[in-house]
Amino acid sequence: MDPTTKINIPESALERVVIVGGGFGGLQLARKLNKANFQVVLIDKNNYHQFQPLFYQVAMSGLEPSSIVFPFRKLFQGRKDLYIRMAEVTHVDTTAKQLQTPLGHCNYDHLIVATGADTNYYGNEELERRTLPMKSVSEALYLRNSILDDYEDALTTPAYDDRQELVDIVIVGGGATGVELAGSLAEMKTHVLPKDYPELAVQEEFDIYLVQSGDALLKGMSANSSEKALRYLEDLGVTVLLNSRVTGFDGRIVTFDDDRTIATQKVIWAAGIKGQPIPGLPEEAITYGNRLAVDRHNRVKGTDCVYAIGDVAYMEEPDFPQGHPQVAQVAIQMGEHLAKNLRYRHERGEEWEPFHYSDKGSMATIGRGRAVVDIPKPEFHFAGVLAWLVWLIVHLFAILGTRNKIFVFLNWLYNYINYNQSLRLIIRPAKAR
């Protein structure tokens, strides 16, 4: 693409706000700028918003991708002064106030970096090449296909050791993603796989390992919840390895820092994330975890009119001196807050209000019927069936809020409760000829 080509967006007398990334933060911001005096441009690699908290359900054949992703064009049907472009932003020139994309360049008056975070392999190229990530619905779908492919292969693998490599799964990372993945895999092992694969000794042969470098699961949640989650997983037959650090994986053997090994062909990497800033932003702004240092107005350090929100932003505030947790709630609140500053205070020349994160609590589910919930103020923890119902209702409303998918959700709920989902499909779009 000739760099002088301009992306095809109508000229307008309005100031142009360009949002890069339509995750929780970017989507919220775009919504809250409805009927504001801005021309809004939303640029994303995909044509859909992804509901990340349920990726693990896609990987475990519990939900279809379409149940948890939502096309931007449908979300914004009828919206004025908003333009959606599907492209990867390759560079930003903050002096010229211009983005580069394969569709051409795009000028902005205000740039919102809402590009989120990607999997962090901490510089280990072997792990990056050989383990399976789960930071997008496409990766979750790839994981689903690869798990099912390996079970099929196991059927025609007579030697016990070779079969073990195919059916055992190692999950690295004991955060919410790893815990929820391990829990739902364990339930699939108990309730679904013996029926699908009566020829295999599923209960005896299929092992699930969850590896955590620290001494507790769900870092960031209460000690209470960490311990409950550990107990629930062990009840479900997951082997939880605490204080264990994976150092290598050659495609068949996982090695640990204390020289232990596990034989498997499938390692899921959920051990960390790193910010994905846009190339071209000032070096001085890049800080811990590859995130962008922002002030309390979400303004990126050393820039003018460039803001970062969500997982890619690093903001210190008195209650969070080491930055906020990288969760959906923070992104949503930042998106909403920045929208208010832009549409009310920017235009009137008023002083902007500083962002303050209001923690509504956190939760994780471990298979069906069990979850852990932490409420911060007043501090309160609970677990078990009630916690699971809370988890279910929160996610139900979050999804319904995005899109009226009541039947899809009812269908999922019905099958989820009955262990009766039939999505164990290895589907790939046909190759181009």
Catalog residues that contact its own copies under the rule CB under 8 A.
7-8, 10, 46-48, 64-66, 69-71, 73-74, 77-78, 83, 85-86, 103-104, 128-130, 133, 136-139, 141-142, 145, 148, 152, 155-158, 195-197, 199, 403, 405, 407-408, 410-411, 414, 422-433
Q: Between the CA of residue 228 and those of 163, 217, 371, 383, what are the distances in Å?
A: 32, 9, 9, 7
Q: What's the closest the beta carbon of residue 378 comes to its own copies, in angstroms?
A: 39
Helix (H) or strand (E) holding 39: strand 38-44
Residue nearer to its own copies on the CB measure, 201 or 410: 410
DSSP symbols for 265-316: S-EEE-S-EEE-PPTTS-GGGEEGGGEEEB-TT-BBTT-SSEEE-GGGEE--
In the bound state with its own copies, the residue whose beta carbon lies nearer, of 94 and 98, is 98
Check residue 391 and report its DSSP letter: H
Q: Is 81 or 168 the residue whose CB approaches its own copies more closely?
A: 81
Question: Which residue, chain included where needed, has tokens 């296909």?
Answer: 145
Query: What's the min distance (Å) between Cβ of 340 and its own copies?
Result: 27
Pairwise CA distance, residues 52 & 118, whole Å: 12
Q: Give least dist CB 389 to its own copies, A.
A: 20
Burial of 374 (0-12, 13-18, 19+ CB in 10 A): buried
Nearer to its own copies among residue 14 and residue 223 (C-beta) = 14
CA distances 431 to 123, 149, 185, 427, Å, are: 32, 18, 30, 12
CB of 173 to its own copies, least distance (A): 18
Instruction: Let me know: does 209 contact 168? Beta carbons within 8 Å.
Output: yes
Greatest pairwise CA separation for the chain in angstroms = 74
Other CB atoms closer than 10 Å to residue 320's CB: what's the count?
14
Residue 58: name the closest of 148, 167, 191 by CA: 148
Q: Nearest approach, Cβ of 202 to its own copies (angstroms)?
A: 12
- For the bound state, the minimum distance from the C-beta of residue 286 to its own copies, rounded and expressed in Å, comes to 25
In angstroms, rounded to a whole number, what is the distance separating the alpha carbons of residues 212 and 176? 12
Question: What distance in Å separates the CA atoms of residue 217 and residue 219, rounded to the nearest whole number?
Answer: 6
Strands 246-249 and 239-241: unpaired
Decide whether 197 or 256 has the Cβ nearer to its own copies.
197
**Residue number with CB closer to its own copies (377 or 427):** 427
Looking at the Cβ atoms of 77 and 322, the one nearer to its own copies is 77
CB closer to its own copies out of 69 and 211 = 69
Least gap, CB of 244 to its own copies (angstroms): 24
Q: Is the CB of 136 or the CB of 298 nearer to its own copies?
A: 136
Beta carbon of residue 241, minimum distance to its own copies (angstroms, whole number) = 24
The residue assigned the tokens 């299929």 is 206
